Amino acid sequence: MRRALIAAGVIALGLIAAPAALAKTETAHAGNVTATFSFQGQLPNFHGLRLTITRGGAVAYDQPVVAKLCETLCWPGALTGGQPAVQVVDLEHTGDPDVVLELFSGGAHCCTVVQVFSFDPGTMTYVKTERNFGDPGTRVVDLQHNGHFEFLTADDSFAYRFTDYAASGLPIEILTFASGHFTDVTRSYPRLVAQDAAVWLKAFEGMAEGHYADSVGVIAAWAADEDLLGHVKLVNRYLSAQAKAGHLNAPFGAGGTKFVAALQKFLRRRGYLR
């Protein structure tokens, strides 16, 4: 089953081949900003993670890497399809690039942590903003090819919500970053949302062969996408028909009309329904 942006593995960038005693360094730059991410070790034991940022050759930030979720025990990131662990990108479209560092907490279904470092001219150093993207991970992309960058991910709050992880559908989520905050802008990309909805609907319809066993996870993701598009009546009609037909099933928790009620409550709380 297709799950949005799920990390394929944790051995990207050849980390597993690095001798434990040797340091590995990744460098990225844009404009006058250069970021150097260094660490030692190999899977599953990394240590000595450090980030150094220079501006015009002068050091503006040089600190050990510490995250709330995994503290000093994080793994280098780059788990979402070959994206480097450190990037220098003008996220805020100000002409002054930010540094994006991706980390991984370890574990089968968790978690990608992203740290964004933004320059503060008042203190002449970098301020860190951290976000846990959970299991889906994220990619920094320029979706409109206009020099503005977004974080393309999926809504991890759907994982385990209505069924087990393997059968959960995670709807598309798109975020921007500015002034120390991530903002959900998924509604601004209706074409991508519609494409995602089509994927989940196809997955649901494909469950007919198995008599729609454990079907609530994928239809929940479809409903979320369609509600974002403003197709609330369509969603209500379709869910009602599928419940009546006995197609909304879960190995545990609510199915049928009880699932529909729980889903609508959840979608309203998460901002999909307005």
Structural tokens at position 65: 């890497």
Mean pLDDT (whole number) for 25-36: 96
Q: What integer pLDDT is reported at residue 72 of this predicted model?
A: 82
| pLDDT value at 4 more than 50 | no
Mean pLDDT (whole number) for 104-129: 91
| pLDDT value at 59 more than 50 | yes
Contacts made by residues 189-198, CB under 8 angstroms, sequence distance 24+: 189/143, 190/228, 190/229, 192/143, 193/225, 193/228, 193/229, 194/225, 194/229, 196/4, 196/171, 196/172, 196/221, 196/225, 197/222, 197/225, 197/226, 197/229
Range scoring the smallest mean pLDDT among 45-54, 217-226, 263-272: 45-54
Structural tokens at position 222: 């479809």
Structural tokens at position 252: 């545990």
Which residues partner with 130 through β-bridges? 115
Tell me the average pLDDT of the chain: 90
| Alpha carbons 200 and 194: distance in angstroms, whole number | 10
Is the alpha carbon torsion for 102, 103, 106, 111 positive or negative? Answer: negative
pTM: 0.87
pLDDT tens digits, 232-266: 999 999 999 999 999 999 988 889 999 999 999 99
Highest mean pLDDT among 21-25, 69-73, 214-218: 214-218
pLDDT tens digits, 119-174: 999 999 999 999 999 999 999 999 999 989 999 999 999 999 999 999 999 999 99
Residue 217 contacts residue 151 (beta carbons within 8 Å): no
| Alpha carbons 96 and 118: distance in angstroms, whole number | 9
Using alpha carbons, list the distances in angstroms from residue 149 to 19, 30, 87, 172, 271.
35, 14, 12, 16, 23
Q: What integer pLDDT is reported at residue 78 of this predicted model?
A: 63
